[in-house]
Structure 1
Amino acid sequence: MISHRPTTTLKYANLWQAMAVLILAAIAIGSLAPISLRLPGSPIPHFDKILHFCAYALLTGWYLAVFPGRYTRILIPSLALGFGVLLEWLQGMTGYRDASLGDAAADLGGILLASLLIVTPLQHGMAAFEQLFLGAPSAEKQSPRKRQSLKHRGLWQIIGLHLAAALLISAFTPIQLNDIPIPQIDKILHFVAYGTLTAWFLVVTRSRRFKILIPLAMLILSVSSELMQGITRFGGDPSVFDALADTAGILIASLIVISPLKQLLISLERLFHPHSSHRRKRRSRSRRLSEITR
């Protein structure tokens, strides 16, 4: 399970909490104001749903980051969902806005994303902003907690290489996704695939140098596979929008997905190798005893 326990202490917590209230007010005003987000002729399909998704992901993640606690992990997402449903009901009563089940579903998707992924990175981003612009002490001085690390990096790296191979093979496989009744399903799959693979390699790679090279290599892989599709005529047709979806997935993975994915892999290691941590503790204990007896 991913913990939402605060990984760093915010010095200006009141400032971030006030901003959370402003985000809440902005969403309420934007939902009830007599404006329409269905822009005619917009090149982005379901633009209003995307805005709903992003707004409620930001709202939920922000509140979870600035109000950490055991009970708020359940309470805040529940209240955010109730807030979204309430606004949809009020929209239906206004006469100039329509209530939509699709909007509520987009709200729920953003709430789930925030609850699972963006809380810890958002806390780190707030702490980094305080250090850079507000003179707050660094996180190392605030919390000298031992950093967790993966114990089977070689295994995860091999799995990542196989995932990269599967992604490259799928780019030249003549599979048509247009029959699936989900709009822009190919762009969604591009986004998820490149985001997941980028986050995977960022997590399982130890060297800091590769933390910069991996997103760049994934971007090169995306562009080159699109170009090769156009040259060889195998698989799908080359598309700028596919490359843009890949780029968005790479950026999102580089910014917010790394910490949760690392925690997930560590949890899997503990699940399938529960005694390894106990062995390491026994070894370190015996080492300390031997040093004392010397």
Structure 2
Amino acid sequence: MTRARSDASRILSRGRLAYVAIDVGTGPLVTPVLYGALGEDLWFVTNRQALKARVLARRPAAGWVVSGDDSSVVAAGEAQLFSLSDPRAALARVAELAHAPAALVSWAKRNPRQVAGFLGDSVVRPSRALPQDVVLVRLRPTASVVVDRPAHVEDAEVSPAVTSALPEALAHLPATPYGVLGLVTPQGPLALPIAWDGTTATLPDQVADLVRDAGPSVCVTFDDPVRNRPTQQRGVVLRGSGGPVLAGTSTGWAVDATRITYWDGFDTRTVTLTREPVPTP
């Protein structure tokens, strides 16, 4: 999984969002995080009550992707969590913890408006910013590859069952021509940049070998552009099953969504899709 390291460094240095895939036990889940970078390692901040933190504490394997204008860095590795609520674990990794101050500076310098927004939201929702609940996560890649952005179709045709299950403010997101596909392989979860037509994801050509042994569980994540405050973040994850198909000359992944997870600020919900009955002839 290698290509010119300078390409990867360029993308990571210019990026702000990483889409992180975890294995929640019933399948993959991919969500975006604002990150700081030290070398090839990415660092982000979350809440210890967040699903991502709870899952990574049990299953540290993770996959992530950072996208540039026309290419992306796809990486897989493990997460390390540092929390004031677990000082013994932090002290056991004191050498790694020495990188934390520089990582936090990198995170804050990349995202100054979001830091200000976080502080503002902390006044409204102080329970989200208690020091003992803040978790610093380090993503350490064991393998990575730079991939090209797949070509997209003009219009994504999304099932009415999907759009009708979403709040009006989020219903447009699954029609976005690009998204992030989440898969689970024997080596761990993957997050892959894709083009999207409403039912099928087109994958970059360079990842064909990575997905060969992927299981049937799948998700596709779409979100709004970066906003200044956590309470303004919005996103949608289609979750279900799927498998490889041919998409033109590229590898595609058919997606049969059976449920949707969406978030609007700190409010997150998962709903089951209602299947429309097939008309009787």
Do both proteins adopt the same fold according to a TM-score greater than 0.5, normalized to the shorter chain?
Answer: no
Q: Which protein is bigger by CA-based radius of gyration?
A: 1
> Shorter-chain-normalised TM-score: which range?
under 0.3
Specify which structure has the higher proportion of strand: 2
Q: Which has the higher helix share?
A: 1
TM norm structure 2:
0.24
